[in-house]
Amino acid sequence: RDHLISAAHLSRDDIEAVLDHAAAIDADPGIVRGRHAGRVLALCFFEPSTRTKMSFETAMKRLGGDTIDMGAVESSSVKKGESLADTVRVIEGYADALVLRHPSEGSAKLASEFVDVPLVNAGDGAGQHPSQTLLDLYTIRENAGLDDITVGIMGDLKYGRTVHSLAHALTEFDVRQHFISPESLRLPRNVRYDLHETGAEVREHTDLDEVLPELDVLYVTRIQRERFPEEREYREVAGEYRIDNEVLADASEDLTVMHPLPRVDEIAPEVDETARAKYFEQAHNGVPVRMALLDGLLGGDT
């Protein structure tokens, strides 16, 4: 059974198959209209979400299928102490595929061992968020191409699961990666080790100015307040690495600015008005990309 648990499991061929299919759907949604009529996608979100949950829901409905929603933890039987394993074992009986978001790293891998329908990891704590990576790559490919480019990834690299997934996937392409963060929010050791093992060109910085003029893409992330063990540690780094048009003065005119969203104050609203801002386009790309992904997992073309 195919699951999507980690971007580290995706080859360049896998990624390109999804992105090509998403581009074809984007150009003509009619090619998949009604293809998954009668099938059901279960949305199991143990943590808040706007984009991931709603774009998966839209994607499944545009494929002709339907969705069911476990609802908030407070209104489900998780509140009564039901285990994750029991929860997904029950829900797989109601659905043809599951999308799972959970606060514990490793939860999607664990859950996938209890189900026979495809399961997509929609974020496991500070671990991975691979379907976000597919829409990130789609956005990069549309705006900067995916070969011979320089990407800066900035902000909370320690707890940012979108970063961990994207960094892995970019090693499949000819991409130079620069990581910009406070010392305390560097990439986790295991992610740095994995990137090093691939032989990818990867550099770390504490100062955006060191690398900004070289960048084709700047991927900004939110400081993940909810993952800090102590509020004091969050306050020490909150507000660092905020970008506005003045900070971006030395950047290429063609710089693509991305953010997985939600943002708090990492990107000043004035940047939204510039041609560099691609983060809303990025969020909207979640629909065709997740349509392509679901079509593949449910036995369509991909």
Task: Return binding residues for carbamoyl phosphate.
Answer: 51-52, 101, 129, 132, 261-262
Tell me the window of 183-191, 205-213, 223-231, 259-267 that interacts with ligand CP (CB under 6 A). 259-267
40: DSSP letter: E
Q: Write down the least CB distance from residue 105 to ligand CP, Å.
A: 15
158 is catalytic: no
Site string for ligand CP, 21-50 (x = CB under 6 A): ----------------------------xx
Q: Which is nearer to ligand CP, 150 or 221 (CB)?
A: 221
52 is catalytic: yes
Task: Check: CB of residue 126 under 8 Å from CB of residue 69.
Answer: no
DSSP-derived 3-state class of residue 93: helix
DSSP 142-177: HHH-SSSEEEEEES-TTT-HHHHHHHHHHTTSSEEE
Please report which residue ranges of 250-285 form alpha helices under DSSP H.
269-272, 279-284
**Residue 260 contacts ligand CP per CB under 6 A:** yes
Partnered with residue 217 across adjacent β-strands are 151, 256
Feature table: binding site: 51-52, 80, 101, 129, 132, 161, 222, 261-262
- Residues 105-134 interacting with ligand CP (rule: CB under 6 A): 132
Please give the Cα distance from 145 to 123 (Å, whole number): 26
Q: Write down the least CB distance from residue 167 to ligand CP, Å.
A: 16
Buried b (16+ CB within 10 A) or exposed e, 54-66: ebbbbbbebbebb
Site string for ligand CP, 45-64 (x = CB under 6 A): ----xxxx------------
Residues noted as catalytic: 51-52, 80, 101, 129
- Site residues (CB under 6 A) for ligand CP? 49-52, 132, 260-262
